Structure 1
Amino acid sequence: MVYQDEIVKQPTDRAPSHEDVLVARARDGDEHSFGELVTRYQALAARVARLVAPGIDVDDAVQEAFVKAWYAMPRFRPGAPFKPWICRIAANEARNQIRSARRREALALRETSARRDERSVPPPEGQVLAREDAEALVRAMNRLGSNDRLVIAYRWLLDLSEAEMADALEVPAGTVKSRLSRAMTKLRTAIVAEEADA
């Protein structure tokens, strides 16, 4: 017979990880700890930015994302995972860069529309050999909207769990599943279209 006072309770709190300590120190303004987080997640943030917005200045987007993260650190929720948070900031900054580039491009087009050179270089898509599957996949991904690219990238390229994806996208876990399913359907369609164009 087991008595109540003999039951050993397992602690529900886990010991803080090294990353938890870095995040806590960074929240308190420790630049060195934040620098370690930057070093740890810079490549991931670059991949996110590149996937969300191909063709942008990735280094600039990542730098701006970490600057914004630094200023937002005091508001970072204690105990929350850092990885999806920085992914979300990098994705948002990449989108901001696209919007800025579009505004600059529209302005430049308006200013030079009378003198625009009619010669245009054909896109390199038709020049890629069909056997180069990786490049064909990138082109197919580029046919998708940024939200679809992002959800596919989070799951299949960055290997985020559904919970981490839900955190990064700020949506419920069920929404992640449906968005991923729709994005994969669109990707299949884009791949078929890419093969037809080849």
Structure 2
Amino acid sequence: MTGYERVKESEKYYHINATGETHTDFEDNDNFNNDLYSNANYYSDETVAENNARAEILMRQLRRFAVENNERELDWKNKRLGEYEICFDYDGNELFINDYSSIRMFGQIYFTSEEIAKQAIEEFESELIWYFTEYCDHVVEDNKIVKCGCELCSNGNLANVGINDNRIALLGGNNRPEKEQKLKYCPNCGRKLEE
């Protein structure tokens, strides 16, 4: 189960309306159901629908922020001009800004200056942290308990991949372990781990 399956007739499913709210409907194989399914706005899992609705609102808000605040048109052919994006570093557990001059990635929102990207981080920081550390776009089944996250961290313990007690060694000089730090986020999928 992924959260995107088509449900059986008369069963409940979820979709996102124009204002970003999650709604419940029942499958009856009519044009409305078919249109929602073919446009990938049809969810068999409520949590996946709610997560996607929240993520889509954030993307629209960031897109509008960029358009309203960028000081020029984005120019992907001029390598002297930087185009900036918001990223998350899972090793350092922090947001950062990356500069691209000639590479454009699918679905990414770009800003014309580092300062504008910083303003976007300030305005949307809590939602950005949620997006990078907790957002999950599918269902992960583990021992019949449905959780978001990857298979490595869905139980909150990464010992099965050699990370004991959710701790990693921080390296000092000569790449020797200096101290240990408890992981806040899964290094595989970014899900926030239990404290």
Q: Same fold (TM over 0.5)?
A: no
- Relative to its length, the structure with more strand (as a share) is 2
Tell me: higher relative CO, structure 1 or 2? Use CA pairs within 8 A at least 6 residues apart. 1
- Relative to its length, the structure with more helix (as a share) is 1
Q: Which of these two proteins has the greater Rg computed from alpha carbons? A: 1
Structure 1 length-normalised TM:
0.30
